[in-house]
Structure 1
């Protein structure tokens, strides 16, 4: 099913039930010209295809990677499905939250409109223990925010890490590069990783490295200095400044050409910066194609492989507890 909303700022949004996905977000630029700023497909069939790169979806049960697809809870080891070389990625290959149909219900209130999605993941789905009842609420507010609120409860101890995997191009989807976008991150540290994408456990300073976005920097300015040929771009978790659990501004992304600016606020400890390195000309909306670097993801999250890293913030959820987190994307146009 498809769900739609508009706001007083001239924004329009579309969501689909497969993957509880943000499929369109139309935003005016500094001249008042509206463009869709997220990558995706024209219909749900595209999202079910093999070319889907998690465009706009809700990612889980565990967003990002878990080493060897294994973790241990209360002395019992669990084996998850492997779908990223030797590791588990984004909830699994067949029944991750991005690949299932959610129940959706639209709503409208005085500050905006949106949709509430619900899905019950059964015990054992993709190897995860326990039934997980998940709710994702999207609200398009009249001040230009896309508020995403997550809740989940379980009947057995399990690990949970949810995020949204929207690919942003503030010049408009179909623009061939986002490397001219200027990014500032509230992150003094990041988590180095091995060749398969698993964090080493180190928390490293960004100062003096290509990972330093503490001052506004074009995404492409130092991308060739990364020295990780298997990635050919950014696909890294940044350790956010501030206290996890408290919602704070963590990122600003600006397209100088259109004047659109996206800010990101979250209560999570980390954000994955991904520059669309693995896009290879997939067909997208309106007959365009998506080459590498044609969008950027800012995925608010717990750290990758937290279930196997006791020094990382915990992602363990037990019966009687409620997983809650929020991400607020806000987009508008500035004279930049």
Structure 2
């Protein structure tokens, strides 16, 4: 085994599919401490200080490997805690799409739709791991080869996801993928955040700001319906900080269908950030930047109390929120959306960065 660089440690975490699974810890003394699994590329925990300097884990996860494996079993109501999502994040309507005149069928695991790459998506795989240390911090690179036909997707896809705690103590996620045949790719990370601390209750008192003037309205199946629409005058307007729970119960049919927020925002080009979230109890402030055109904000609507977290406490509805940087849902069936097609000789690239600081009040741009 190749020795790991300073600032990165490795420990045995269990066995899945007949193979060993490991947990890696990244960080430096006094900075954030990040734990990542090579199972599903899961971000299991992230410890960051509150306004008084006290560290706490601010992401949802399971305490052992059995929790993740059980959540991925057939018939499980999967919640994708902290996982890398692929090949295609979000939903594909009807589980079908046409590429270069050829129709492809992918698993219908969300009603009639395909969700998050199918029942055996990238969140269920064991990734190869490599440690990296350079002038910009310490990193863990995860690599996965998805064969042609995997979950119905064409082309042999090689994917790299790199978790880096950089020199500025930010968490940087870099994605890279190549293919040997035309395919569609949409990768993201499904971390749930609770800035008051994992297992501390719901996130409805968190303040959220999203740099987006439009969002994708959805129908009953949570597939985008029609063109992106202005957020102005709707419960989806987070251009100025607002509490997550302030309008979540309004009788807007797009909220009622999803039992809360589970929608794609069309990020404004040239904005100083993609999103910010602030917790008044701890003072923690999360700032997010991304190269992606869209952001799926999910308010943890389907979390249930039978999910026990890393701290042993149950995750009720709204126990965390996800900010999933990605292309738009159902893009393979929507030529008017930014393309998710990847061809041989091209490189899929995405970078998403998270910074955790503190503030005494919700910041206003």
Task: Pick the TM interval, shorter chain.
Answer: over 0.9
Instruction: Compute the RMSD of aligned alpha carbons.
Output: 1.3
Aligned to 1:90: 116
What is the alpha-carbon distance in structure 2 between the residues aligned to residue 43 and residue 109 of structure 1? 31
Contact 1:276-1:294 at 8 Å conserved across structures: yes
What is the alpha-carbon distance in structure 2 between the residues aligned to residue 217 and residue 28 of structure 1? 23
What is the alpha-carbon distance in structure 2 between the residues aligned to residue 52 and residue 196 of structure 1? 17
Is there any run of 5+ residues in structure 1 with no aligned partner, and where? none
Q: Secondary structure at the match of 2:257?
A: coil
Q: Cα deviations across residues 195-224 of structure 1 (Å, max 9, x unaligned)?
A: 111111311000000000001100001111
Does structure 1 residue 262 correspond to structure 2 residue 286?
Answer: yes
Is there any run of 5+ residues in structure 2 with no aligned partner, and where? 1-21, 72-76
Q: How far is 1:112 from its partner?
A: 1.7
Does structure 1 residue 72 correspond to structure 2 residue 98?
Answer: yes
Aligned to 2:32: 11
Contact 1:7-1:141 at 8 Å conserved across structures: no
Q: How far is 1:141 from its partner?
A: 2.0
Does structure 1 residue 46 correspond to structure 2 residue 76?
Answer: no
Q: How far is 1:7 from its partner?
A: 2.8
Contact 2:198-2:311 at 8 Å conserved across structures: no
Contact 2:180-2:343 at 8 Å conserved across structures: yes
Aligned to 1:123: 148
Q: Cα deviations across residues 29-77 of structure 1 (Å, max 9, x unaligned)?
A: 0101110010001122211113651011100100000001111111100
Q: How far is 1:260 from its partner?
A: 0.4
Higher relative contact order (CA 8 A, sep 6+): 1
Moved more, 311-320 or 6-15: 6-15
Does structure 1 residue 199 correspond to structure 2 residue 224?
Answer: yes
What is the alpha-carbon distance in structure 1 between the residues aligned to residue 64 and residue 138 of structure 2? 22
Aligned to 1:230: 257
Q: Matches of residues 1-336 of structure 1 in structure 2 within 5 Å?
A: 1-50=22-71, 52-94=78-120, 96-225=121-250, 226-227=252-253, 228-242=255-269, 249-281=273-305, 282-336=307-361
Q: Secondary structure at the match of 2:200?
A: coil
Contact 1:80-1:126 at 8 Å conserved across structures: yes
Q: Secondary structure at the match of 1:45?
A: helix
What is the alpha-carbon distance in structure 1 between the residues aligned to residue 256 and residue 211 of structure 2? 26
- Dislocated runs of 4+, deviation >6 Å: none
Call closer, same or farther: CA 1:21–1:218 in 2, change over 3 Å.
same
What is the alpha-carbon distance in structure 2 between the residues aligned to residue 77 and residue 3 of structure 1? 40
TM-score by length of structure 1 reads 0.96
Contact 1:144-1:332 at 8 Å conserved across structures: no
